[in-house]
Every structure is written in C-alpha cells, then in structure tokens.
Structure 1
Amino acid sequence: MPAAPRARPADLFTPEEWAPFQARAAWVGPLLVLHCWGVILLAAVAGVLWPILIPLCVAVIGTRQLGLAILMHEAAHGGLSPRARLNDFLGHWLCAVPVGASLPLYRPYHLSHHKYAQQPEDPDLVLSAPFPVTRASLRRKIIRDLTGQTFFKQRVLYLFKAFASDRDEDMAEGAVVTGRSVAPFLLVNAALLAAAILAGVWWAYFVLWLLPLATWFPMVTRLRNIAEHACVEGSADDAFRAARTTRASWWERAFIAPYWVNFHAEHHLFMHVPCWKLPALHRAVHARPQGGRIEVAGGYMEVLKTASAGTTLPASG
C-alpha cells in the first residue's frame, strides 16, 4: 500500500523563506468562522426584508455552508487555532455539525485522503475517478443537486447506510459521517429553527437555511470536488500533480469557492499551511521551476468543460 509521493519544503525554499508559511495566528481562524456566520446572517436578513432577493440569498448562504465545511477541513489540519481544544470546538460545533458532518470522524478519513491521494487506497478517489463524463451526465448530476435529490440521498437514504462499507460517489466525504452525527445535526438545526420562530420568521429556517443546504450546497460541493482532482494527468506519481488549482474570479469566490479552497494543489503540497496563506504559497511555488508542473485552470467553467469533454487541461503556470 504505497503512499502518495511527497514534496518537502526544503526542495523549494530556504528555512527563512519557509518560516512565514509555518507561522499561525491565533485570531485568524476564529475570525473566519465569525465571518462565515456573519455572511449567512446578513444574507438571511436580506432575504427576510426583501423577498425578491431570496434566490440570490440562497446561493450566498449555500456557498457559505460550503464555507463551513471548508473551515471544518481547516480544523482537521489544526488550522483554525493553535490551541487544539479551541480548534476542535470551532471546527466541530460551529462548522461541521450545522451542515451534518463530524470533525472527529472526518479528520482520519481526510488525512487518509492526503496520505494516499489519487492512489487506489484514496477514500476520495470515487469523486474524481469517473471523470471525464459526458455533458449529459454532468448535467444530470447538477440537476440532482439543485432539485434536492442529492441531499435526500445523503441525509435520508444514507442515514441508514452510513455504517456500510459500500458507497458511491455521493456517499463520499460528507455523507459518510452524516449518519453517525445525526443527533448533533438535528440539535443544532432545531436551535436554528427555534431562533427563527422567536424572531417571528419561522419560514426563514426552511427557505434561507434548509433550502440552500438541500440545493446550492450539494451543487457547489460537487463543483469543488471536480475541480480539485478530476482529469489531472500524472496525479498518482507526481506530488506537484496531486491536485488542481483553479484561478477564481470574485464572483466564483462569492458563489462557488470561498476561503481559498481553489488553491488545492498548494494545499496538497504542504497541507499544514493555513488556508489564508495559500495565495502567497501559490505565488512562491510558481516562482520556482517545479511550479510549472502544477495543474492550473483559468476558472471553474473551464474545469467543467474539461470534466465533461473527455480532454485534459495542460499544466500551466
């Protein structure tokens, strides 16, 4: 069972150049969690005050629900706080549980993904192995996401299969832990519903929390998964080809890829670098000759064309 190839910081940087990427600020992680919930709250208030904005608010909230999952991922690497207890509290109760996940269960699963990235033992291989697919197949997947079918499959049907060994691509990552964390998930969501009732807008929980969770969140999670590993040649043999980085415009960061999740190649190279330092790491790596081997896409639409056209993007700087 060979592990995935690894890169060492010393292969690219001097100790002085690498030192800033090792430093961790105690306040940034909690601030990101606060920012994520703040955006969700502001979008919910906007939807209540101006119902015409509800479709836009659903997209904004669904993307920040993905943001909570991304910050849970950061906590899995110990990146939300240098204090382990605070890191795990924030990552579990304020990030993972509200969207139906569990940090203690996700962490070993995800670290296994890093250890065996794109190897047969990689638990996330089912997310990237089917690609490229036909455009019709990709369209059907996105329709299932936006119509709530994926949510129903993960949160209801797989609730009874979470302990089973067999799973398909929709069972990977979040759905694996959903069944085992259902009680905390229901508890937190009951609190959110109670808060909406006390505020006199009971319907807001269903329209401005549950609806994004059942539609936009699964869709952007799928786009994230496709962009990270699908159709990257040489990913099992070269540490610099283990994942793809996607250049994200402002609107893609707002509606698809929050909190620097698009810098996935750099994250796989050096997984303990905090997410907010990934743009600087991207620039530093690409200033070295090895950076030219990294797969870089010009945007998420470009990735989707590649994932549904049977072609592979060339590596670019």
Structure 2
Amino acid sequence: MAAAPRARPEDFFSTDEWQALTARSSWKGLWLVAHCWGVIGLAMLVGIVWPWTIPLMVPIVGARQLGLFILMHDAAHAGLHRNRRVNDWVGHWLCSSTLRDYRPYHLQHHRFVQQTEDPDLVLSAPFPISRASMWRKVVRDLSGQTFYKQRFGPIAEGIRRRAPGESALKAFGRELAKDRRFFLANGLGLLAFALAGYWWAWVLMWLLPMATWLPLVSRVRNIAEHALVAQNEADPLRQARTTHANLAERIFIAPYWVNYHCEHHMFTSLPCWSLPQAHRLLQRGGTTARMEVQPGYLSLLKQATAA
C-alpha cells in the first residue's frame, strides 16, 4: 500500500518559522481544555438561571462537545502537551476516553488520506449529494436518530447476533459493558445534577446537545474536511480542505481551529493553535491559492449538495 504524498515543511517555511509553529507548550493545550469545559459549564449555568436561553445553549454546548473531541484529536498527535504522559492523560480523562482506540485508526487516515486504504474515505465518497438527501441527514441528526443508531445500534446488533442459548438479557449486559465508560460517566453526571436538584439541566444541556447538535456539526465537519476531494489525490495541498470560519461558525460549528484542515494534513506535527499562523504564512507566500480552500461553510455545503 502506497502512502499519500506529503508536503515538506522546508518548502514553505524558514527554519525559525517551523520551529515556532511546531513548538509544544506545557500550558496552551491545558488552557484550551479548561476553556472548553468552562464554556460548557457557563452555558449550563446560564440555562439554569434563565431557562428561556436553553435553545441557544444546546448548540453552544454541542459545539464544545465537538471541541473536546478536537482536543482529544490533538492529543492523538501528541500536540496537547509537551510531556507525552500528561498529553495522553488529559486527552483520555478530560477530553475523550476513546483516545487509545482512536489514535492508530486516525494515524492510518493520515498516512493514506484520500487513498484507497483511507479508513475515512467512506465519509467523503458519497458527495456531492442532493439537497433532499442532505435535509434527510439533517433531520436524522437533529431528531436524535443518528445518535441512537451510533450509540445503541451496535448493542441491538449484538443482541440480535447472540450465541445460541444466550439470553437477550445476558447479551444486553455484555454489549452494554463494551461502552460502560460512556454510560457510567453520563449516569454519574445525571446523578450529581439530580442530587443538586437540576436533573433536567443535565438532560437538556448535556444529553440533548450530544444527541442532536453534536451529530450535525460532526457531519458538517466531515463534509468540510474531505468531501469533493479527489480520491487518490497526489497533491498534498489538495488532499484536505480549509474552510474560513467567521465568529458565529467558530462558536457553533468549528471550535479550536478545526477549520484549518488542509494545513493540519500538510503538517501533522502542528498543534491546533499554530494552524492559523501557518495559514497566514502560507497565504503570504501565495501557497493558499494552490490549496483547497473555501470561503465559508455555507458555500461549501452548497457545493456538496449540487448533485
């Protein structure tokens, strides 16, 4: 299997620029994790004090739930902290417990991006699609159907395929144990909020965003990053896409510079906070004109639904 062609940093940056871009920090990643949880906590507090704001808090929290995954993704690249043990501990315990399983899968995606062996190719291959198809996906996301399928579908399938003589209850317990960290963490969260008298806040401003807005923005993120990018693309400047994001898009769709995805694939050793500076340096050198860049998420989605 041939790996995807890579960009060479020395072709685009000076030695000093590259050293500054790739420098690991002992506090920036920790600050971003604290910021993410702080936004979630503040949004939930606002919703508790002024319940009429809950419809606004749902997408804010959902986008920060995506933010936790983005920061875990940085940890998968060892970019969250200069100490590898701290990096992995923070990524696993404060961002997402899927880090250990995600890392080898994701690094394979980088090695074979948009090549036949790319495990994420299935996410971008169907595009462009019709607007009707896109709206059906949006409805499934916002109605919780996507969340239910992803979270409980494997459990139902495991029960259906249980061994002869195995009871459905035993099979349910076995399948539930595979995802026990998710159910335990959310069960404890619900219990803590219930003991404080705010069980409804956990349901409406943690579980509801997770079941609705998070699947939607995760889908938009997947579309933005690789949809409409040619399979087996040889040019490392066009194997992924950067999408310019305004303030509203950064709040509700693309936190923590996830929109600079072309730069991330070109130079995987860059921590997320260095991506905007890398983009500016590439733009100064005229390189962005050769890259796959879109002016915003709306224009991108219009192209992705042009079938």
When normalised by structure 1's length, the TM-score is 0.88
Q: Letter of the aligned partner of 1:307 in structure 2?
A: A
Query: Tell me, which stretches of 5 or more residues in structure 1 are unaligned?
Result: 163-177, 311-317
Q: 1:31 to 1:180 in 2, by over 3 A?
A: farther
Change (3 A) 1:192 1:242: same
1:243 and 2:240 equivalent? yes
Number of residue-to-residue matches in the alignment:
291
Secondary structure of 1:153 counterpart: helix
CA RMSD of aligned residues (A): 1.7
Deviation at 1:15, TM superposition (A): 1.3
Which residue of structure 1 aligns with residue 56 of structure 2? 56
The separation in 2 between residues aligned to 1:17 and 1:74, in whole angstroms, is 20
| Aligned mates of 2:150, 2:66 — CA distance in 1 | 15
Q: CA deviation at 1:18?
A: 1.3
The answer to whether structure 1 residue 212 and structure 2 residue 205 are counterparts is no
Using the TM superposition, give the Cα deviation of residue 21 of structure 1 relative to its aligned residue in structure 2, in angstroms: 0.9
281-290 or 216-225: bigger deviation: 281-290
Q: 1:48 and 1:122, CA in 2 relative to 1: closer, same or farther beyond 3 A?
A: same
Could you tell me how far apart the structure 2 residues matched to 1:218 and 1:299 are? 20
Matches within 5 A, 1:1-317: 1-97=1-97, 102-159=98-155, 182-233=179-230, 236-310=233-307
Q: Following TM superposition, by how much is the alpha carbon of 1:287 offset from its aligned partner in structure 2, in angstroms?
A: 2.2
Is residue 145–residue 218 contact of structure 1 (8 Å, CA) maintained in 2? yes
Q: Percent identical across equivalent pairs?
A: 55
Residues 116 and 232 of structure 2 are in contact (CA less than 8 Å); yes or no, is this contact kept in structure 1? no
Gaps of 5+ in 2: 159-174
Would the alpha carbon gap of residues 302 and 180 (structure 1) be closer, same or farther in structure 2, given more than 3 Å must change? farther
Bigger Rg, structure 1 or 2: 2
For residues 156-177 of structure 1, the C-alpha deviation after alignment (integer angstroms, 9 at most, x for no partner) is 0024669xxxxxxxxxxxxxxx
Tell me the TM-score normalised to structure 2 length: 0.91
8 Å CA contact retained: 1:160, 1:179: no
Deviations 1:125-144 (A, max 9, x none): 01100000000001111110
Distance change (3 Å), C-alpha of 1:107 and 1:159? farther
The whole-number CA distance in structure 2 between the counterparts of 1:43 and 1:181 is 31
| Higher normalized contact order (CA 8 Å, seq sep 6+, divided by chain length) | 2
Within 2, Cα distance between the matches of 1:132 and 1:110?
Answer: 24
How far does residue 235 in structure 1 lie from its aligned partner after superposition?
6.5
Could you give the per-residue CA deviations for residues 36-84 of structure 1, whole angstroms, max 9, x where no partner exists? 0100011111111111111100010000000011011011001111111
Task: Give the secondary structure class of the aligned counterpart of 1:281.
Answer: helix
Q: Alpha-carbon deviation of 1:191?
A: 2.1
